Amino acid sequence: MLHLDDNQFNRRRERNQTKLKLWRHAGLMLTYQCSAACRFCYYYCSPQADGLMSVQTAIDAWQGLVRIASEDAKVHITGGEPFLYFERLIGILQEARRLGLTPVDVIETNGSWAEDENDIVEKLRQIDSLGLNRLKISWDAFHEEFIDIQSVRRLVSVARNILGDNRVLVRWEKHLDSPTGIRQKSEPQRKNILQEAMASDSCRLTGRAADALAELSQQYPCEKFHEKSCRNALLSSKGVHIDPNGEVFNGQCSGMIVGNVRQTPLDELWKAFEPDKTNFWQILYNKGPAGFLENAAAEGYACREKYASKCHLCTDIRRFFFDKGLFSQIIGPNVCYGINRNFASEGILGEKQ
């Protein structure tokens, strides 16, 4: 297990100053492909998006997390929709078990695949036998736009029989009991429903969420976000998400690459991460996304009159930089900006195992 002072930034900090927390959680994004295309997706997952994490990339990330956090390491497998690639999911869990890694804490699913009870039973028994702790089933008005509620109810019921109540989380159960019927509504009605959903559950406006939901949110002049640093988000996330190609995102800050586990082990990335030093991170660390405004304006960025949140401003400026090819080592990958890159044709699809 690493110690806080194994990180270069932390070593420069005084005792009373906030330090970069150890990464104890890793969300392995098996694929960007998804049976849904929710408006609040932090990425741009959809049926057209692709990418498939190889067993090797998953294990490299998993082992790196264990080197950082030892038995506190918590891996969850997510997507996209991980059950679209069930065989690969099983391959990763088998290899993790063979190597004696910490059991997988959570697998997240939207439940769209759960059409046949026998199939559900078989799949859940398999992942249960490979050490799954909890199954997390996503359900709210955003998912309801794309997913059949009967599949989700079927999955919840079968999963509770097999895994027990305590090991099945539904986010959010209350919406399963009283669905909104959003699929039968007109677009203006849908927007009202989604506005209500956003009011009750907070939502980070990055990825597709920034493009699809900012207009439904209350908006504020840009000045409101001046000098709102991202220090806390960068230092205190306690975990990372790792995309199918091994790109590492700090916490839920999608579309900003800290490094790649195919090139640098995760523990080495943590040790070397100095958010107050590198040009791009330094600006977020000290000033938040508004710190980019002057340089972005010089490059031709036209400031919007209003933004829904700091993360909306961040995503909007990053998209501008992305289109210009600026900070290209950090701002990416394409799929986080709504461009469906074909991993297979670039020869970077995870190897078959």
Residues that bind ligand SF4 (CB under 6 A): 34, 36-38, 41, 45, 79-81, 110, 138, 143, 206, 230, 233, 253, 284, 288-289, 310-311, 314
User: Which residue, 63 or 254, has its beta carbon nearer to ligand SF4?
Assistant: 254
Least spacing, CB of residue 286 vs ligand SF4, in Å: 12
Place of tokens 């080495």: 268
Cβ nearer to ligand SF4, comparing 101 with 198: 198
Judge contact between 35 and 190, C-beta under 8 A. no
Radius of gyration of the chain (CA): 20
Least distance in angstroms from the C-beta of 37 to ligand SF4: 5
Spell out the SS3 assignment of 35-66.
Answer: CCCCCCCCCCCECCCCCECCHHHHHHHHHHHH
From the CB of 193, what's the least distance to ligand SF4, in Å? 16
- Shortest distance (Å) from residue 284 CB to ligand SF4: 5
Is residue 203 packed enough to be buried (19+ CB in 10 Å), middle (13-18) or exposed (0-12)? Answer: buried
User: Taken in order 26, 32, 35, 36, is the CA torsion positive or negative?
Assistant: positive
Our CA dihedral for 320, 325, 326, 329, rounded to 10 degrees, sits at 120
CB of residue 25 to ligand SF4, shortest distance in Å: 16
CB of 331 to ligand SF4, least distance (A): 11
Nearer to ligand SF4, 69 or 152 (CB): 152
- Which CB sits closer to ligand SF4, 143 or 241? 143
Buried b (16+ CB within 10 A) or exposed e, 170-189: bebeebbeeebebeeeeeee
Q: How far apart are CA 297 and CA 318, in angstroms?
A: 13
Nearer to ligand SF4, 275 or 350 (CB): 275
Tell me the closest approach of the beta carbon of residue 1 to ligand SF4, in angstroms: 27
CB closer to ligand SF4, 161 vs 340:
340
* Residue closer to ligand SF4 (CB basis): 62 or 139: 139
Which residues are CB-contacts of 327 (< 8 A; sequence separation ≥ 6)?
A: 279, 280, 321
